[in-house]
Chains A and B, each alone.
Chain A
Amino acid sequence: MYIGLDYHYTISVESNDNTYNLSNITGPIQDIKEVAVAIEQLKSERYFSQGGSSILLVEEEDFDAPVQLLPTQNGIKNRIETYYKGNSNEITENDIFLLYYTGHGGSADMPMIVASEGSPVGEVITKKEITDWVKPIQGKKIIILDSCFSGQVVDEYPREPDERDIGSYVPGTFFLSASAASQTAKEARFIEIDHRHGFFSYYFLRAIGWNHSPEATSQMEIGTGEHMRDITVPGRIDFPTLNGGVMSLGDIYRYISDYFRFTERWITYQTPQTTLGPIDLILFQQ
């Protein structure tokens, strides 16, 4: 499930008697379209032959685009929740459920802030709602957030016995976040590819082999009839995080973190987070 939201106006969010005004950002739509296509490509027979259905939820300004927009009258939050509840039975123990969200996030338990087109007020999806929604889903779950303060969703690994009593750690649920709980997540226009991305999504795409080179174009069908616009699809690509025949969450995290640390030189500015402990999740396997 891929969720990308454009915020081409300032929206306000009311939480705990405070009102937060969030600026317009335009990178998430490009992030989510490319992430969706890249992952769909990797799932195909051409690469890893891993099946499964997908849904792309996108909201953007251009209503004439051949991308099915969310029905704003129902609200994005309702749509996401309905999808969770409607599809949780179809996912088996051997499947991986992936949620990739790009958009605004806020501190104080606001990891996902979704806005309805034309409305100046945003809705918050809390950490509890995210985890409660995925709890009934069988199989492994991975939740990836490219949003400000997204580290707040990453569970503490209960290394000590007394930490296990708290019960916040959910086995089989893995997280990858663009930033720590106290940090914002940045986006920029990348000159070498001539479009905007969140830094996290940009390096995530590189980690899974998306090289942005226009060797081919494709109009992909994702999920329930949503179509991508023409978008570049790499031909033969390298997978920098393919290690011993598997592409794991830990190696993707390491790849992104190293680029943040050594290329962007962000030591404390924006540090991705992931689920700690000994267990790692395989996203793709040869």
Chain B
Amino acid sequence: MKLSRLALSTLFLIIIVGSIPLFAGFSITNRYGVSMDVLWYGSIPSEFHHDPLPIRSHLSIGGTFTPAVFPIGDTVELSAGLSGYYTTRSIVFGTTFWRPFMAFGTSIDMSLYISPSFVGKIGTALLLGMYLPTWELAPIWRLQLAGEYALTEQSQRNRWFVRIPISVDIRSDYISVFAGIGFSCRINRLIAKEQNR
């Protein structure tokens, strides 16, 4: 687990840092994106926690900034971004609750343009979570599926989507599942086209 975590974080870092010169220079990527989600977040206690509840409910809010988008053909694109989420403490049960935390990290997504209006996404992220009362750090491996439906026309520079993400957070001590609703926006860069005179 520790080795795979290290390998994944190294890979993500290389992709994110390596992509910076691409969009700082000329256009291998001509698009970037932002997304924001509001989610129900359910933490599933492990057996050793001896928790009386099978799942602890939180609210989570956050998003991803995707500075690097790599088209692969006409219908597939690969994107890398930076994600940040805040998850509230769980609903109180008895004399306990589960602590609130923040999580930041890098993500990679693959988008499949199923139709002009609908996009399917599969992605993964490696996040560093921090429980806010104790400042305790905990690595999180996130797996995400999302469906996105276009709200605006393809020809526009800013294209808005409504999205429904479903995700799993894997920690070494417990697993969380979450789902919700969000919006994303893909912004095409203004690229001057060369013309013969």
Interface residues of A (CB under 8 A from B): 94, 96, 139-140, 157-161, 164, 169, 171-172, 244, 246, 248, 250-251, 253-254, 274, 276-282, 285
| Measured CA separation A244–B90 after assembly (Å) | 12
Closest 3 CB pairs of A and B: A250-B133, A171-B50, A278-B98
| A246 and B97 contact, CB distance less than 8 A | yes
| Measured CA separation A244–B89 after assembly (Å) | 10
Give B29-52 interface residues, CB cut-off 8 Å to A.
Answer: 43, 48-51
Q: Does B70 contact A (CB under 8 A)?
A: no
| A164 and B138 contact, CB distance less than 8 A | no
| Measured CA separation A253–B99 after assembly (Å) | 13
14 A-B pairs with CB atoms under 8 Å apart are A94-B94, A140-B96, A157-B173, A160-B172, A160-B173, A164-B48, A246-B92, A246-B97, A248-B97, A253-B133, A253-B134, A254-B135, A274-B134, A278-B101
A159-B172, A161-B172, A282-B97 known; A276 vs B134 contact (CB < 8 Å): yes
Interface residues of B (CB under 8 A from A): 1, 43, 48-51, 89, 92, 94-99, 101, 131-136, 138, 172-174
| B97 and A158 contact, CB distance less than 8 A | no
Question: Which residue on A lies nearest to B46, using beta carbons?
Answer: A164
B58 to chain A, nearest CB (A): 10
Question: Which residue on B lies nearest to A274, using beta carbons?
Answer: B134
Question: Which residue on B lies nearest to A285, using beta carbons?
Answer: B92
| A248 and B133 contact, CB distance less than 8 A | yes
Q: Which of B43, B51, B134 has the most CB of A within 10 A?
A: B134
Which residue of B1, B95, B135, B138 is within 8 Å of A281 (Cβ)? B95
| B49 and A279 contact, CB distance less than 8 A | yes
Q: Which label, helix, strand, loop or mixed, suits the secondary structure of the A interface?
A: mixed
| Measured CA separation A230–B68 after assembly (Å) | 68
| Measured CA separation A282–B133 after assembly (Å) | 13
| A282 and B92 contact, CB distance less than 8 A | yes
Question: Which residue on A lies nearest to B90, using beta carbons?
Answer: A278
B131 partner residues in chain A, CB cutoff 8 A: 250, 276, 278
A248 partner residues in chain B, CB cutoff 8 A: 97, 133
| B138 and A251 contact, CB distance less than 8 A | no
A157 to chain B, nearest CB (A): 8
A253-B134, A276-B134, A277-B173 known; A160 vs B1 contact (CB < 8 Å): yes
| A282 and B99 contact, CB distance less than 8 A | no
| Measured CA separation A251–B131 after assembly (Å) | 11
B138 partner residues in chain A, CB cutoff 8 A: 159
| B133 and A280 contact, CB distance less than 8 A | yes
Which residue of A164, A251, A254, A281 is within 8 Å of B96 (Cβ)? A281
| A159 and B173 contact, CB distance less than 8 A | yes
B132 partner residues in chain A, CB cutoff 8 A: 254
Which residue of A140, A164, A254 is within 8 Å of B133 (Cβ)? A254
B92 partner residues in chain A, CB cutoff 8 A: 246, 282, 285
